[in-house]
Amino acid sequence: MSNSKKHSWEVSDNQENPASMAMLYATGLSDEKMKQPFVGVASCGYESNPCNMHLNDFARAIKASTVEANLTGMVFNTIGISDGISMGTAGMRYSLPSREIIADSIESFILGHAFDGVIAVAGCDKNMPGAVMGMLRVNRPSIMVYGGTIRSGKYKGEKLNIVSAFEAYGKRIKNEINDEDYMGVIKNACPGAGACGGMYTANTMSSAIEAMGLSLPYSASNPATSPEKAAECEAAGTFIANLLAMDLKPKDILTRKSMENAVRVVVALAGSTNAVLHLLAIARTAGIDFGLEDLKQINATTPVLGDFKPSGKYLMEDLHEQGGLPAFMKYMLDNGMLHGDCMTVTGKTVAENLANVTPVKAERGNVIHPLEDPIKATGHLCVLQGNLAPEGSVAKISGKEGISFTGPAKVFNSEQEANDAMKNQEIQKGDVVVIRYVGPKGGPGMPEMLKPTSIIIGSGMGADVALITDGRFSGGTHGFVVGHVTPEAYLGGPIGLLQNGDVVTINAETLEISCNVSEETFAERKKTWVNKDLSHLNGTLKKYSQLVSTASEGCVTDKS
């Protein structure tokens, strides 16, 4: 019996479990395959979005690679919720909960069937952190394979991506685009398979996970339809066999230092605010003491170097053409920004993986700016606190919006109310739009507010209107926005007590989010405050609302 078959022998070779053996033989396994380590290939594939529609094909290729490596690979499926499809609808409430369902699925399958290892194939935003959390829970040799970024679209000479479609709606409201061109953008924004192309949440999290050592080098930046991505899938079996032989597990790889690497890469690339939620959740799942204050310190000492959409010019495919994420990581390592001694799923350290990699050419006007001439001298993921967010909030300030904003609150108790107000042009320059009761418990599910921010940008008011919410933002969001306001309105947080006309101040320099309302006034308002009624909830959202922790704790449902 192989030393790598530490768990599956119980179901494939233990004479006291004849029924499990009989069922495995019924699937067509030979005596030889029964003696090999069992590797689960977890696919987040489904047919209804470009980020995931190719993942089942990747899973089959990865299974074939396990056969070549003398392993018994078996494909199983978990779910995914498309943020792009559900955005602005009631379905968006299921997006963040899907992360927990994915982690639950991987844990349940691998431990329920006594598999020895797992290769997770993930494509969209919540797939990847969900897969990594599942890998950490089972803590058996594991690799995550990213489905890859999408190629850019094109219409009338303009380079497009998914956010182009959202922002076209704002232009349509202002009659700056006709119906033909509006549909032209929509039909050409996404040319095929792959996750959203800018430094949105999918590419942010793939970069973070590669930086923390849980995916193979280049996984984050190999485009979905590239020969490099196909080769990565074909190599996965060899690498998981090596991990099984070494008995190298996710919790051996993920340490505080590798978490620091992940955060530094996310900040340097100007990644999504969602990374804050997911990295906190991953650290918590791994049992690593790493919180908002740690992220705040790394952000303060890390410059923004990546000129990526949504606030910049480039897409992940552009970095791929210049050497991919390893070329960027080599530039960071050479400049003392990464811990090179962290272990990875290759069985080698970060420094060993990057030893023969040529660093990216960092220069102004390129995808990556040089350290001596950064896009922003300190990080863009600002953790703000104050009397509106006593337990914290997160803003994505690229520097292009300015560093502070003060204005009267326009308060809305749902995203739809805010969208309708914008559609009717009721939002004026200088307003601070407040969207509340969309937090993890009160949403429930903490939906993303990409639609309202895209309307603001598309209507030309990106520099003149701020938005704060106890919900969260897509990686595609840009502008003067603050999310993850904690405590959320549903828990009686101050954001739930704001009224129209209260003056709100957001300051990225002092890291403050406050309003001109005294504690005494808040206390008076609290006496007549009526909470959102969630008695109608059932099923997934009811369970999630009852179990989920705060945004400042990563929105995990396992709080142990």
Which sequence positions are flagged as catalytic?
474
**Rounded CA gap, 474 and 497, in Å?**
25
Q: Are 325 and 350 in contact (CB under 8 A)?
A: no
Print the SS3 string covering 96-139: HHHHHHHHHHHHHHHHHCCCCEEEEEECCCCHHHHHHHHHHHHC
Q: Hey, what are 364's tokens?
A: 């102004």
**Rounded CA gap, 148 and 160, in Å?**
17
Q: Is 126 annotated as a binding residue?
A: yes
Cis-peptide, bond into residue 310, ω within 30° of zero: yes
Q: Is 154 annotated as a binding residue?
A: no
Q: Are 161 and 309 in contact (CB under 8 A)?
A: yes
| Spatial CB neighbours of 246, under 8 Å, sequence gap ≥ 6 | 141, 347
Dihedral of CA atoms 456, 460, 466, 472 in degrees, nearest 10, equals 40
Q: Is 382 annotated as a binding residue?
A: no
Q: Tell me how far the alpha carbon of residue 215 is from its chain's centroid.
A: 15
Q: Are 473 and 467 in contact (CB under 8 A)?
A: no
Selection from 189, 184, 187, 140 nearest residue 163 by Cα: 189
Q: Is 51 annotated as a binding residue?
A: yes
Q: Are 86 and 94 in contact (CB under 8 A)?
A: yes
**Rounded CA gap, 383 and 145, in Å?**
30
Q: Is 196 annotated as a binding residue?
A: no
> Which regions of 23-92 does DSSP assign to beta strands (E)?
38-43, 72-77
The amino acid at residue 383 is V
Q: Is 58 exposed, middle or buried (0-12, 13-18, 19+ CB in 10 A)?
A: buried
Selection from 436, 471, 110 nearest residue 274 by Cα: 471
The amino acid at residue 291 is G
The amino acid at residue 431 is D
Q: What angle do CA 109, 202, 172 make, to 5 degrees?
A: 130
**Rounded CA gap, 531 and 39, in Å?**
48
**Rounded CA gap, 208 and 239, in Å?**
20
Q: What angle do CA 485, 486, 490 make, to 5 degrees?
A: 100
**Rounded CA gap, 345 and 124, in Å?**
21
Q: Are 204 and 275 in contact (CB under 8 A)?
A: yes
Q: What are the DSSP calls for 146-211, one per residue?
A: E--BPPPEEETTEEE-HHHHHHHHHHHHTT-S-HHHHHHHHHHS--SSSB-SSSSHHHHHHHHHHH
Binding residues for Mg(2+): 83, 125-126, 448
Binding residues for [2Fe-2S] cluster: 51
Binding residues: 51, 83, 125-126, 448
